[in-house]
Structure 1
């Protein structure tokens, strides 16, 4: 299992919309994540800095293929079309990143 943390900004005027989207996350999105071996996925909001922190656990053996399977789904692109305008990628993100990956520096079970 691989633990993953990521961060992105959120537009303050879109926080209510973003919360509503995730309060009623589409079953097809959840099924796609599960099929891609993603478990224990959470997104946290930090105000007033307006940051979203995402955490998930990856339980597969081919991360690139599993992430591609998510990206290949038309429903994913419809979901991203709603969520992405709410988000503000960090200027420090890596090439090809929307959410910025984070290094795990401590974990306790």
Structure 2
């Protein structure tokens, strides 16, 4: 399992629309995400900077192939046609990236014992 995250800007005038869309994500979109071996997927909004932060756990063996399959799905394409205009690609995003991938730099060590719970 790989923990992964990405970030993108959100247009201030599109915040309500983005919230409305994500309050009722289409079942076919959610199914395609699961079929692409993604689990524990969440999107967070940081205001007033209007940044969207997405986190998920990838349980597959070929991330590029799973993302290509997701991108090729007609329902995903329809969904992205609605959500993409709400987003602002970051200047630091790589070529071909809508959302900018992030590097994990810390993870809580599960073996460290909390002195307060001893």
Correspondence for 2:12: 12
Q: Which runs of 5+ in 2 are unaligned?
A: 111-118
Aligned length: 109
The Cα of 1:89 is off from its aligned counterpart by 0.5
Q: Give distance in 1, aligned partners of 2:33 and 2:2.
A: 15
Query: Larger C-alpha radius of gyration, 1 or 2?
Result: 2
Q: 2:41 aligned with 1:25, yes or no?
A: no
Residue 115 of structure 2 corresponds to which residue in structure 1? none
Give RMSD over aligned pairs: 0.7
TM-score (norm 2): 0.90
Question: Is the aligned partner of 1:34 residue 2:38?
Answer: no
For the residue of structure 1 that corresponds to 2:101, the secondary structure is: strand
- Secondary structure of 1:42's partner? strand
After superposing on structure 2, the runs of 4+ consecutive aligned residues of structure 1 that deviate more than 6 Å are none
What's 1:63 paired with?
A: 63
| Structure 1 residues 60-88: Cα deviation after superposition (integer angstroms, max 9, x where no partner) | 01111111110110111100000000000
| Structure 2 SS opposite 1:6 | strand
> Structure 1 length as normaliser, TM-score?
0.98
Distance 1:71 1:48 in 2: 30
